[in-house]
Structure formats: structure tokens, C-alpha cells
Amino acid sequence: MERAPVKTYCIIGDPVHHSLSPGMQNAAFNALGLNCTYIAFRVPTSELEASIQSLRSIKIAGFNVTIPHKVAVMKYLDELDATAKKAGAVNTVNNIEGVFKGYNTDMHGFIEPLRRRKVDFEGMSVLLLGAGGAARAIVAALSEEKGIAKVVIANRDQKKAGELARAGEKMGLKCEPLPFDKVTTASPDADLVVNATSIGLSNEPSPVDSDHIKKGSIVYDIVYRPVVTDLIEQAKMAQASVVYGYEMLIEQGARAFEIWTGLEAPREVMKKNLLGIFGEPT
């Protein structure tokens, strides 16, 4: 029997050298014996349109999109899934017989670890740090949960915070923008604190310390490297529950894998690839 030709997948962004997606997706393909490979392509903003055309010409099977292209890529695609329309951003593209269809798996990636913990959103006050593409997907995901009391969006660029707050209002959430330097005025009342900025990526100190985190609240840092950021450390000191960034990374990647292959993603294999010999943090 002839072996089917290799299907190639990739991630595009700038920078992408730090991406953990190639290792994670290749481990998943290998675990299920699929003849697929996944690579990273650095695509500067000025080359985005040409790069999408190149991916079309080589008949790429599908690809992920990371910073800074999640919004800009939308105009070069043929179709958008409901998730992409709602989030206003695309992080996964599937090539369906030459038709490039965009999805947003960050929404699912973000909410699934909370659902797995059986979190009750009723009356919840949320503090969201950041107003970029990831924050927008998070607001879209939260809008599908019932009973959230309010979402406070803290961001350095107040114009962006205001725009995201208005988008959230249109989705049925009660939202309010907040200057970033006032974040500790809102954090003690928050039942869920989400960091959707890159703070912590370079081991920067958390914008919220343990004295300003409510005991028993949930702190979710979408930064996944380092696994334990300063925000996570502060949350543990405050006796809050924590959700790690790698959990969102695995879930959004698993959903992308399922869109591409139609098969259930081997999440444990993907997790092992990410966390390696050290295993889960305690």
C-alpha cells in the first residue's frame, strides 16, 4: 500500500523561534501515526500577504497564527468560522480543498481549563489585564458563560481598553476599562484575575502582589514560559487557585489538531511534550 504524501502544517508569526507548538503538534501527529509534520515560519508584518500566497501555492494543510498577525491575517482568508468572527481574531487556519478557513481556538483554549475545574461564573467579578488579540478571545469566551457580574479591563493603552470594553458590551457582558496603574484598586474584589499581557515572559515582577489578590479567588496567567510566573507565585501566597498558561496552550493546540485531522487530540502526549521530564508544577 502506498503511503499518503506528507501533510505539512506550520505556525506563522514574528518572533516564532520560541514557539512550543512544533514540538507539541509533532508529538501529537507521531502518537497517532499520522504522516504529518509541523514547522515554524518567521513572517514579518510586511511579508504577511506574500507569505499567505506562498502557503497557498505549496498547498499547506493548515497553520497556526501567532503575534502579531492574528487580526491582520483575516483579510487574506476565504472563510471565517463563528469563533473567528466573534473573537475578531484568527489563530488557526484549515485548508479545505484550497479554501483557507479561519478559526479561533484561543476561546476554547482559555475556557476549557476553567470548565474542567467546574468553575461557577454566577455573580463573578473578572479583572482582565491586557486588551490585545488574546484578551479579545478571552472576552468572547467569557461572554458565553452565564451570570458574570462584570469584567474590568486594565490596559496601558486606554483607547484599546475602551474598544475591548465596548466589544464585550455588545456580546452581553458588563465591561469597564481601567488604567493599568490602577490595577491594584480592582484586584482585591476580583473573583477571577486573568493576565493576557506578556508581563512575566521575561520574569518581570507581577503587576499584582499577594496583598492585592483575594483569598480563594482564581488567578489565570496565560504566559506559559516560565510555567510559574511571578503572578502565579503571588497568587499561591494569597491562597488563590491558579490556572497555568500551558493549560490554555495545550487546549488551543488540541482544538486546532482536531480541526485539521478530525481526530481526538492526544492531550496527555501534548502535555508531556510541553512539561517534559519535570512534570506538572505543584
Question: pLDDT (tens digit, 9 = 90+) per residue, 107-132?
Answer: 999 999 999 999 999 999 999 999 98
Q: How many CB atoms lie within 10 A of CB 147?
A: 9
Residue 258 lies in a domain: yes
- Are 150 and 195 contained in the same domain? yes
Is there a single domain that holds both residue 233 and residue 216?
A: yes
Nearest Cα neighbor of 137 from 159, 115, 168, 162 is 168
Per the DSSP assignment, residues forming a β-bridge with 178 are 154
**Reduced to 3 states, what is the DSSP secondary structure of residue 218?**
strand
Active site (annotated) includes residue 70: yes
Beta strands in 125-167 (DSSP E): 125-129, 150-155
- Over residues 222-269, the pLDDT tens digits come to 999 899 999 999 999 999 999 999 999 999 999 999 999 999 999 999
- State the number of CA atoms in the 13 A half-sphere of 228 facing the CB: 10
Within this chain, do residues 128 and 231 fall inside the same structural domain, yes or no?
yes
pLDDT digits (tens, 9 = 90+) for 25-43: 999 999 999 999 999 999 9
Residue with cell 502579531: 68
The pLDDT, as a whole number, for residue 2 is 62
Q: Per the domain annotation, does 42 fall within a domain?
A: yes
- Tell whether omega for the bond before 226 is within 30 degrees of 0, i.e. cis: yes
> Do 120 and 152 fall within a single domain?
yes
pLDDT of amino acid 279: 81
Range of the domain at 24: 7-104+247-278
- Rounded Cα distance between 105 and 112, Å, is 11
Choosing from 7, 70, 86, 101, the catalytic residue is 70
- H/E stretch holding 96: strand 92-96
- Same domain? For 84 and 191 the reply is no
Question: What phi and psi, each to the nearest 5 degrees, are found at residue 281?
Answer: -70, 150
Q: Is the model's pLDDT at 4 over the cut of 80? A: no
Instruction: Please give the tally of structural domains in the chain.
Output: 2
pLDDT band at 202 (very low <50, low <70, confident <90, very high): confident
What digits encode the pLDDT tens for the residues 48-106?
Answer: 999 999 999 999 999 999 989 999 999 999 999 999 999 999 999 999 999 999 999 99
Q: How confident is the model at residue 18 (pLDDT cuts 50, 70, 90)?
A: confident
Q: Which residue has the higher pLDDT, 142 or 282?
A: 142
